[in-house]
Amino acid sequence: MVRRQTDSVWILTDIDLHTVVKNSGGRSTFFGHPRGLFLLSFVEMWERFSFYGMRALLVVYMTASVLPDASGHVHGFSILTLFVSTSDPVRSSSLLYGFYSGLVYLTPIFGGLLADRILGKRVTIILGGILIAAGHMLLTVKPWFLLALLLIVVGTGGLKGNIAAQVGDLYALDDSRRERGFSIYYLAINIGAAVSPLVCMVLVQHWGWEIAFDATTVGMFIGLVTYMLGSYALPAANSVGIEKTVEAKSSSKNSFFILFFIAVSAIFLWVSYEQQANALVRWTSVSSNDIGMAWLQAIPPLIVLVGTPILTHLWSKQARHGNEPDALKKLLIGACIITAAQSFLVVIAGVLPATAPASWIMALYLMVWEIGDLFFCPAALGLFSRLAPRGFEGLTMALWYVTFFFGNLASGWIGTLWGTFSPVTYWLMIASCTALGVLGITMLRKSSFLMRNSLLLS
């Protein structure tokens, strides 16, 4: 690789790839990162407050308040009955929630295309935020409940992937701060995810459904207004690093290869993650309606809140000495830690074959798992933004969120096997999935052509 500086432009040459990267050294920073990172993180924190607050209430709200008398009272309900059996409110609310949560991870593809090819990221994000807020306002208007869910699904598609793409726009292509920036962004997501369920559950208990859903609407409005007031200060897409002149077709193929392997590996890891709200809950519950262990679900966000500042400080210190792990090494470390956590469950299931494990054992498992995620997820986000083809940044980031969709599908199917096998066999199957994720990242690191394009991972 040859590197030379001409005025404010870095010209980076590597065998078959010529990339022009504008120097961002003069850009205003805050805690060593572009100020726009903190604007986008604040907006995403409130969007996630809105999303996770509603998510925590949705199934119970549908079961208790919407579905029992939905026939003839909810517009479009007769169409829904063609796809979902509505004779049992508990079962139908679960199936409807499954449709909703799956579509939330699919619609960012269309939002990414809309932003990349027609409207631009800023307009698409604002429109998405307006639709989400409108959907939350309509949730407690029962005749329009299904329309409310549709508005939230479509709005999330316009907002989710494009905000992440704008985070990537803040950094030059070879800026090693990119992955650390996504760690800060990931921290903001988890602040919203940790606080909103607690707030909304308290509001439901003391003031009812309407006030609780009003809180999620207010959260979305705060994020939307903040973005509209501050987005003018964000750089235009690719203004810090983004002119690419590709002289050989192989470079785009290389990027596709890298993203494909990361995506497939991530799907195997998400199979493990989704078990935390599925088989793990069943394993630790003493009865079918026991929610005594539900507090364990607060551990992962707490680990993110505590661990992100520690890791970003460590990586910044390593970067100053030139030995910060590259993005793929962070992916591999994270996947290995997650596999170790899953293997721990196999051991526990073997030691305690007939009893539910103690809460401290599950807490330890969740802590270790989330530490692995702190290495894996921000690094993956950074790579997806770094390797996004010119003009398809929003779509590329949307494809990252599609991995959650397929992970949910696979995890749900595997979850139906709980009880068919012994806990040891079941958790060994899940641990094998995470091991396949490790194998995928390892193969990626060993790829010879990837080494020839190491600029993309610096």
List, for residues 36-75, the tens digit of each pLDDT value. Answer: 888 898 999 998 888 888 877 777 787 777 776 666 677 7
pLDDT at position 364 over 70? yes
**Yes or no: domain 34-238 corresponds to CATH 3.40.50.300:** no
Nearest-angstrom CA–CA distance, 271 and 152: 25
The mean per-residue pLDDT over the stretch 197-205 comes to: 82
Res 10: pLDDT:
29
Lookup: tokens for 176? 């090693």
Question: Which pTM was predicted?
Answer: 0.72
> What class does CATH assign to 245-458?
mainly alpha
The mean per-residue pLDDT over the stretch 129-136 comes to: 93
Lookup: tokens for 154? 């479509």
Domain ranges of the chain: 34-238, 245-458
Res 268: pLDDT:
94
- As a whole-number percent, the residues of the chain with pLDDT over 70 amount to 77
Q: Is residue 147 within 8 Å of residue 138, measured between CB atoms?
A: yes
Same fold flag, 34-238 and 245-458: yes
pLDDT at position 292 over 60? no
- Please, what is the average pLDDT of the chain? 78
Tens of pLDDT, residue by residue over 325-354, are 888 899 999 999 999 999 999 999 888 766
pLDDT at position 103 over 60? yes
Instruction: Bin 355: left if φ > 0, else alpha if -120 < ψ < 50, else beta.
Output: beta
**CA separation, residue 417 to residues 91, 188, 279, 324, 411 (Å):** 18, 35, 9, 42, 10
Nearest-angstrom CA–CA distance, 22 and 373: 32
- Give how far the C-alpha of residue 43 lies from the chain's centroid of Cα atoms, to the nearest Å: 15
Which band of pLDDT confidence, cut at 50, 70 and 90, is reported for residue 16? very low
For the chain, how long is the longest CA-to-CA vector?
70
293 HSE (CA, 13 A, CB side): 24
Which has the closest alpha carbon to 160: 221, 112, 211? 112
With tokens 């330890």, the residue in question is: 364
Instruction: Bin 284: left if φ > 0, else alpha if -120 < ψ < 50, else beta.
Output: alpha
pLDDT at position 95 over 50? yes
